[in-house]
A and B are shown apart, each in its own frame.
Chain A
Amino acid sequence: MITRLYGAHPLHLMLVLGCLAGAGYAALQVGVNPLWWLMLIWFSAAVLLHDLVLFPVYAASDRVLVGVLGRMVNYVRVPLMGCALTFALFFPGIVRQGDAVVLGNTGLDQEPYLARWLMLCAAMFAVSGVVLVLTGAARAIRSRRAARHPRRTAPAPDGARAG
C-alpha cells in the first residue's frame, strides 16, 4: 500500500528521510553561526552556478568548437580543458586574490602564478600541436604506403561515422 502511494518501497522512504534528517540537522547546527545565511547563499550558488551557468557555457563553447574545428577539435579541446581546469582550481594565485593574507601567512607574494599558468597553458597547447603534427605525418606515411600497396587499403566500415 505504502509502496503504491509513495512510489517506492518503504525502506526507500526511511533511507531518504533519514538522509534528509541528517542533512537538516547539520544545516540547523550551522544556524548558530551568525553568517549562516552567507553559507546558504554560497551553497545554493555553487549548485546554480555549476548547473545553470558553468554547464551551459562549457557545453555551448564545446559545440561551437566542434562546429568550427570538426575532426581537429580534440587538439584544441584537450589543452583548453587543461587550462580551464587549472584556472578553476588555482585562480586565487593567478588573479592575485587575497594577497595580503598569503603574504602574512607565507611571507611570499603571488607574483609568479599568472606567468606560470600562462606558461603551463602554452606548454599544453604546444604538446597538442606536436601530437597533431606527428599524427598527421604518420597518417601521410600510412596513406603513401597504402597507395603503393593498393590491396592493403580496406574500405571504411559501413556505418562508421566520421567525427
Chain B
Amino acid sequence: MSARHGTATPTAPDTGTSDRSGEPDYGFPAPLWRALERARPPGLGRTRAWRSPIRGPWLTSVFGAVLLVGLPIVTVTGFLDYAAYGPQFGQAFPADVGWLRPPPFDWPTRPAWLFQLTQGLHVVLGLVLVPVVLAKLWSVVPKLFAWPPARSAAQALERLSLLAMVGGILFEIVTGVLNIQYDYVFGFDFYAAHYWGAWVFVAGFVAHTVLKLPVMLRSLRSRSLGAELRTPLADTRPEPADPADPDTLVALDPGPPTVSRRGALTLVGGGSLLVAGLTAGQTVEALRPAALLLPRGRDYGDGPNDFQVNRTAAAAGITPELAGPTWRLRLTGVDGSTPDAGPPAVGVALDAGVGAPMVFDAAALATLPQHTARLPLACVEGWSTTQTWTGVRLRDLAALVGVPEPTSALVRSIEREGAFNRAVLTRGQVLDPDSLLALVVNGARLSLAHGAPARVIAPAVPGVHCTKWVGSIEFRR
C-alpha cells in the first residue's frame, strides 16, 4: 500500500483510492480511519438511495468546465468593480482590506463603457451561472453524504477547503441576489460580506481547481460531447463506475433514465439562457422590457428625464427649494493633497498662486462653454443606461480656480446624509474631455431625481461617484 502512496503525484491526488484490490488506502493512523469507516451511520455512504443514471464524473466535469471559465470572470470583474470605486481614496468598501486587495491603479476613463461592462458582466454572468452552480452541486451531492468523510488527514483537509468554496459561492450568490434587488434582509454590511466572502470562495476554488483539474480533464476525455448530444433518452446508459474509486458518483443501482445527458445539459443551459434573458435588459437598452422581474427593467416613460433613478430626491432629503434659486456651486482650488490622504480635510490653506473660491448660480453656470457627451450611467448593482448629457467640462471648472492640472477633485453634494454624498475623482476622471458637471440631459434640464440643478457624469465612473445635487467641488493641486 505504501508503495502505491509513493506514486501519488501532486497533480493527481486521488487520495486513498489507488489500491486496485478494492481495499481503500488509509492515512495515518490507519486504525482510526478504518474505525471511522466502520462506524457508518445509517443512510450515509454509497447506498442504493442514489439512483440517478446520468450522475457521473463526465457530467460533473462538463459543469465544472463551464464554471472554471465563468466563475473567474465573475470574480475578476467583481474585484475590478472594487478597484473602480477608488480604494486609493478610501472610498472602496470595505476600506481596510489588509493584504487581500487588488493591485492599486487609477481606474481609466476609456473606454467609456468600461464600468458598464465590468459590473454588467459581474452581475449578469453571476446570475447566469446560478443554474450551473446548482447543477454542479446536484451532480456531486452523493460525495457530501459519503462515508467515511475522510480516509486520511489529506482528505479531511480537502473537505474543509471544499466548505470554503461551496459556502463561499452560495454566500456570494445569496448576498448578491438580495443586494441587486435592494433587499437588505441580511442586516449586515453588504460590501464587507460580499468582499470577504469572495476571498473565502477564491481560496477554496483555487485549491479545488488545482486538485481536480486532472480528474476533470480525464473525465471529459472519457466520453465524446458530440456523441452525448446525439444520444436520446432510450440509449442513455450510466457512466462506467471506476472500481478503484469507493466514492464514485456513478449510482450503485441506477434507476431508469428519465432524462438523457443531452436533456440535462439542455435543461441547465436553458435555465441559464432564461436568466440571461431576464437580466441582460438591466444593462442592454434594447432588451430592457425583458428584465421583467428586476427593478431596472421598469419603464419610467418617454420624457428626457425618464430613465433609471438610483436615489430619489425624497430619500436624499433634497427639496425643490434646496435645488432652486438659492442653490450655489462653490469651486475651490487647494494645495497639498496627496492621493491617498483618505477623506479630505476641509480648509486646507490656499496657496498664494491659487485663485480664490468661486461661487456660481445655475444661470452663471449655463453661460460657461457647454459640452455634450453620450455616456453610460452604470451602477455596481448590475444595471446601466446610456444618455446624452450636456454641461460644463470639469477641467474647465478646474482651470477657472487656477488648478488646470489637478491631482484629484472632491465633489460634494448638498445631500446631508448618505454614504455617497461625496466622491473623489482621479486626475484622469477630472481631465477627460467628456467629464461634465451636467445641467441638461437629452436636451432638457435635469430633473430633481437626476440631480438638478447640476450633477457629475464622467466616462467609466461608477454611478455612485457621479454625484447628484452637487454643492461644491474642490480641485486639489
Contact = CB atoms under 8 A, between A and B. Distances in A.
Contacts of A32: 96
Contacts of B183: 92, 97-98, 101
A163 B258 contact: yes
A29 B97 contact: yes
Interface in B192-247: 192-193, 196-197, 199-200, 202-204, 206-207, 210-211, 233-235
Contact of B127 (A4, A89, A116): A89
B: interface residue count bin: 35 or more
A81 B130 CA distance: 13
Interface stretch (A35-43, A135-143, A144-152): A35-43
Interface stretch (B150-158, B350-358, B436-444): B150-158
B363 interface: no
A90 B278 contact: yes
Given A161-B256, A161-B257, A163-B258, A20 B153 contact: no
A50 B211 CA distance: 24
Contacts of A88: 130
Interface centre among B137, B141, B188 (most CB of A within 10 A): B188
Given A19-B206, A98-B185, A105-B310, A3 B141 contact: no
B269 interface: no
A26 B196 contact: yes
B468 to A, nearest CB: 13
Given A23-B204, A81-B267, A106-B310, A7 B185 contact: no
B295 A106 contact: yes
Interface string B5-16: 110111001011
Contact of A3 (B6, B173, B192, B295): B6
A22 to B, nearest CB: 4
A112 B293 CA distance: 8
Contact of B182 (A22, A44, A92, A113): A92
* Main DSSP-derived SS at the B contact region: helix
A19 B202 CA distance: 9
B17 to A, nearest CB: 11
B37 to A, nearest CB: 14
A8 B13 contact: yes
Contacts of A13: 154, 157
Contact of A107 (B16, B206, B449): B449
B348 interface: no
Interface in B275-298: 275, 278, 292-296, 298
A23 B199 contact: yes
A106 B291 CA distance: 15
Contact of A82 (B166, B204, B274): B274
A112 B294 CA distance: 10
Given A15-B210, A104-B312, A163-B256, A7 B15 contact: yes
A29 B100 contact: yes
B27 A47 contact: no
Contact of B184 (A6, A89, A101): A101
Given A20-B161, A74-B258, A82-B271, A29 B98 contact: yes
A23 B174 contact: no
Contact of A16 (B137, B161, B263): B161
Interface residues of A, number: 74
| Residue of A12, A15, A120 ringed by the most chain B CB atoms within 10 A | A12
Interface string A89-109: 110111001100111111110
Interface string B134-173: 0001100100100000011111011011011011101101
A106 to B, nearest CB: 5
A55 B270 CA distance: 20
A51 B170 CA distance: 11
B252 interface: no
A117 to B, nearest CB: 6
B99 interface: yes
B410 to A, nearest CB: 24
A30 interface: yes
A77 B163 CA distance: 30
A107 B309 contact: yes
Contacts of B372: none
B196 A30 contact: yes
B116 interface: no
Contacts of A35: 187-189
A63 B154 CA distance: 36
A42 B309 contact: no
Given A4-B5, A74-B258, A85-B131, A55 B138 contact: yes
Interface string B403-437: 00000000000000000000000000000000000
Nearest to A90: B293
A44 B175 CA distance: 13
Nearest to B25: A7
B203 A23 contact: yes
The 6 A-B residue pairs with the shortest CB-CB distance in the complex, in nearest-first order: A7-B152, A7-B27, A11-B10, A19-B207, A104-B315, A8-B154
Interface of B: 2, 5-6, 8-10, 13, 15-16, 25-28, 94, 96-100, 127, 130-131, 137-138, 141, 144, 151-155, 157-158, 160-161, 163-164, 166-168, 170-171, 173-175, 177-178, 181-189, 192-193, 196-197, 199-200, 202-204, 206-207, 210-211, 233-235, 256-259, 263, 267, 270-271, 274-275, 278, 292-296, 298, 300, 308-312, 314-315, 449
16 contacts: A5-B27, A6-B27, A6-B152, A7-B151, A12-B10, A19-B203, A26-B199, A35-B189, A39-B193, A39-B196, A39-B197, A43-B168, A82-B271, A107-B300, A113-B293, A117-B293
Given A7-B16, A42-B174, 8 more contacts: A4-B27, A12-B211, A25-B199, A27-B196, A35-B188, A42-B175, A86-B274, A92-B181
